[in-house]
Amino acid sequence: MVPGTLDVKGTRILAKSLFKELRGNGYSPNQILSLSTELIDLVTQDLRCEHEAASSSTPPPPIQVISDKGGGAWRAAL
């Protein structure tokens, strides 16, 4: 299964399986909660980086072209 195609039910099943696996290997509920918090922090950082990258790559506003009434020449106004 490709992670991008997980639906809500698939996500629940994956989470439940991971939880059972961790508990079966001796992890305490507090350790699992700590792991979950770290995962949320990593996802948050990743989303923040993506947002900042998208913001910095936004093209500048378009140049408005106005006519010069004197000789028919064109110039750009910023």
Domain residues of the chain, as ranges?
A: 3-67
Q: Which residue has better confidence, 9 or 67?
A: 9
User: Per DSSP, what are the bridge partners of residue 55?
Assistant: none
User: What's this model's pTM, rounded to 2 decimal places?
Assistant: 0.58
* pLDDT, position 56: 79
CB-CB contact of 77 with 63 (8 Å): yes
Instruction: Please give the biggest Cα pair distance in the chain.
Output: 83
What token pair was written down for 22? 């961790």
Per-residue confidence (pLDDT) for residue 14, from 0 to 100: 93
Q: Write out the two tokens for 32.
A: 């699992």
Higher per-residue confidence, 40 vs 75: 40
Encode pLDDT of 43-67 as tens digits.
999 999 998 888 877 666 666 655 5
30/41 Cα distance (integer angstroms):
16
Mean pLDDT of the chain: 81
Check pLDDT > 60 for residue 8. yes
Task: Tell me if 18 sits within 8 A of 27, measured CB to CB.
Answer: no
